[in-house]
Homo-oligomer: A and B are copies of this chain.
Amino acid sequence: MDNLDLAAVYVSDAQYNRKIVFDTSPQAIRLYLLYNHWGMQFLVYAFIVIDLALAIFEDPAVIPLPIWATTMIEIVCLSAFGFRLVHYAKVIPLERFWKDPKNICIIVIILLSLVDIIIYWLLKAIGLFAVRWSRVLRPLLLVNITEGRQLRRALRSIRNALPQILCVFLLFMFSVFMFSLLALKLFVKRGLTTTDGDAYFTSYLEIVFDLYVLVTTANSPDVMMPAYNSSVFFALFFFIYILINTYIFNSVFLAIVYNNYKKYLKQEVRQLVKVKRHKMVQAFELLQEKKGEETVVTQASWNQLVRLVQPDISNAHRELLWSVSDNSKKGCIGKGAFVQLPDLLNMQVTIEKAEQPPLQTLLPPLYLSIPSRLVCRMVRHRLFVYTYDLITLVNAVFICLDEENLLIANTEWVFLALYLLEILLKLYTFKPRTFFSRHKFWNWFDTIIVISPLIAMIINSVVKSEGYTSRQILDIVFILRIVRLIRVVDRIKRVGVIINTLIKMGPTMLTFGQLIVVVYYVFAMVGMELFKGKIHFFDVKSTHPDKAFCGNPLLKNSSFAKHNYCKNNFNNVISSFILLLELTVVNQWHVLASGFTAVTHVSARIFFVLFHIVIVIIIINIFIAFVLEAFFVEYTMEKSDLQSSLEKKIKELELGIKHDVRDDDMSSYEPTKEKPEFLFKIKSKRYKTLDGLMQKMFEADIGPEIFAEDEDGDADKS
């Protein structure tokens, strides 16, 4: 274990934005490498998924399993988390381990879960009522593992916004209470009735709840109609209310969440850059050699380093990166250039070997014959693409038409044949390796879309299943083909920017997905304990007498039962998640809440309002804030210095491909005669990691001069 290995660890930490400070003894480094191994990380996530998925098998279960089985699995998962933690404790200095709140959190979660299991079994043994309350803690593991950095960041940004949100929320509630008082005085004594003949606005708390629901617009205009029917002027009251409490306050919540999100993200990324540079400086110091006045890293050790960090890098790519770093061709680089290495490695460069299509190698006379050349020329022509866009469009029209008509149903196979032809032609013209290279999403998509119905058809004719469903899957595959039309609009530059931005947001959406899983899981667990078995769903075909009121007499004639919402219940974890999703969409949430209030008591209303506050005020606003920020960055973004210097280099070396060629649009790719052996292309504006995009977002503010000198506990907070 020499300096080079240690430096490689530092560089790869910097590349993947790991902020862990580890012991530098050879054994600790080996353990650290094992800790960061993708297999270990995969295992951790696998165990978390298993642990969370236990809710499917535990009572109330989707698929019931005996309690001892789920308990066994849970104990296995918990010990896996324990082992992982012990591993982590071996890697980093002990005092750092105990200072880090996320480690303490995991220990507490594991201990509490074990205590819960023991209590549960004891209570069961003596025949008492027992609740597995520690299930609420499970999603917190997702937050507290080392890899949950994005999630912790999102949660911290929420925590920072909380005081301000609370202030506005108080103001908002004050306004709701004020308006409720006004409504009380205005409406209570008028003896108005709702459509169902019930009394309208009976008590103060009822009014507060109704007006709170109106903030979400879920009961508009119904809540207004009785008053409006009695006098036009009352409509004014409701619209002032909606203007203030729905439109203005909602915008203010968004403004606060967005502002804090942006501010906090900036701080976090600044912190990240600091740690990253610090790691790179450490790596530099391990490899540095004296050369005259300066301390430098030689090309030889740089090459060894890069090979260690990224074993699969091609020589050409590595040499390109070196020539960017060592711009003045001195054979060695200083600290400034060395520190840029992780960013260079993170920049996606596509390398295209100047290979020939296989047929050209195998049968040159045939491939170079005039008809063959004509075919190649045709495939490369713009009109070829347009023709296929037109075919897809016609296909879309045919799909809309009545499929009962056999003639039309059979045209599907004509279209399939046409698409197959397209792929074959392209494979003939271009190199297969280029066609199927990693980033050519659309080529992969086309191929899958064409091949899967063929496979489906074969399976279908062999298995002879019940017919309709398999035919339907086929239909869906056919319809997905229409997604190809996006490529048409994608060519319009304005739309292209939008689609690109949307695609780029993908990885961050995953963070939000995790955030939502955490929140949903906690609410689902609590909801299941509170409401399980209160509402029953009877199959559509069932003729059970209780079907009309969801199996609970308390729901007789309720709007919940009338709306046929029986399946929206907390009877198992999947139902709960779907119900929570419906509540996130907000509409009709008061009807859903009313159903659960009817079957239990006031607690249901509190549960539903609490969920609404958490999801709509915080989570959805964070989501909007992220989308807004991503778009503003896209609109104002210029290429970073580093990227353009890489591009300049590629141009200088005449290694580039025409830059405006979309990677999925092969039509305009015209091979030149005297082309170099390799072709490089920067996948511009695309970053391997999410942090890369974020650094880009705040690049202007951070500046290149930050070199972390202080080694204080920063790294712990990750």
Contacts and interface: CB of A to CB of B under 8 A. Distances in A.
Interface of A: 163-164, 167-168, 170-171, 174, 178, 181-182, 184-186, 189, 195, 204, 217-222, 224-225, 228-230, 232, 235, 239, 242, 246-248, 251-252, 254-256, 258-259, 396, 399-400, 468, 472, 475-476, 479, 482-483, 485-486, 489, 492, 494-495, 498-499, 502, 537, 540, 562-565, 567-568, 574-575, 578, 581-582, 585-588, 620, 623-624, 627-628, 631-632, 635
Contact of A189 (B174, B468, B581): B468
B567 A185 contact: no
Contacts of A221: 565, 568, 582, 585, 587-588
Given A195-B562, A251-B628, A587 B585 contact: no
Nearest to A541: B230
A563 B400 CA distance: 34
Contact of A400 (B204, B259, B537): B204
A583 B399 CA distance: 34
A591 B610 CA distance: 29
A620 B247 contact: yes
24 contacts: A174-B489, A178-B479, A181-B396, A182-B479, A185-B399, A185-B476, A185-B479, A186-B476, A195-B562, A195-B564, A221-B582, A225-B565, A229-B537, A229-B564, A229-B567, A232-B575, A235-B578, A239-B581, A242-B585, A247-B624, A251-B627, A252-B631, A255-B628, A259-B635
Contacts of A167: 489, 492, 494-495, 498
B217 A586 contact: yes
A472 B252 contact: no
B587 A219 contact: yes
A310 to B, nearest CB: 34
A203 to B, nearest CB: 10
Contacts of A498: 167-168, 171, 252
Contacts of A225: 563-565, 567
Nearest to A260: B635
Contacts of A219: 587
A697 to B, nearest CB: 14
Contacts of A494: 163-164, 167
A163 B495 CA distance: 10
Copies in the complex: 2
Contacts of A635: 259
A163 B497 CA distance: 14
A581 to B, nearest CB: 5
A623 B567 CA distance: 38
A254 B629 CA distance: 11
Contacts of A482: 178, 181
A182 B492 CA distance: 25
A483 B182 CA distance: 11
Contact of A476 (B182, B586, B627, B632): B182
A205 to B, nearest CB: 10
A228 B472 contact: no
Given A185-B475, A232-B578, A585 B256 contact: no
Given A171-B489, A221-B587, A224-B582, 13 more contacts: A170-B495, A171-B495, A171-B499, A181-B400, A195-B563, A217-B585, A219-B587, A220-B585, A225-B567, A230-B540, A248-B627, A252-B502, A587-B587
A124 to B, nearest CB: 30
A108 to B, nearest CB: 33
A575 to B, nearest CB: 8
Contacts of A562: 195
Task: List 9 tightest A-B contacts by C-beta distance, closest first.
Answer: A251-B627, A255-B631, A185-B475, A195-B564, A220-B587, A221-B582, A217-B587, A167-B494, A220-B585
A356 B468 CA distance: 93
Contacts of A195: 562-564
Residue from A221, A225, A578, A627 having most chain B Cβ neighbours under 10 A? A221
A63 to B, nearest CB: 13
Given A252-B498, A254-B624, A585-B221, A485 B400 contact: no
Nearest to A496: B167
A482 B180 CA distance: 12
A221 B259 CA distance: 32
Contacts of A563: 195, 222, 225
Given A174-B485, A232-B578, A185 B251 contact: no
Given A181-B399, A219-B587, A540-B230, A259 B632 contact: yes
Contacts of A218: 587
A201 B399 CA distance: 16
A90 to B, nearest CB: 42
Residue from A181, A259, A399 having most chain B Cβ neighbours under 10 A? A181
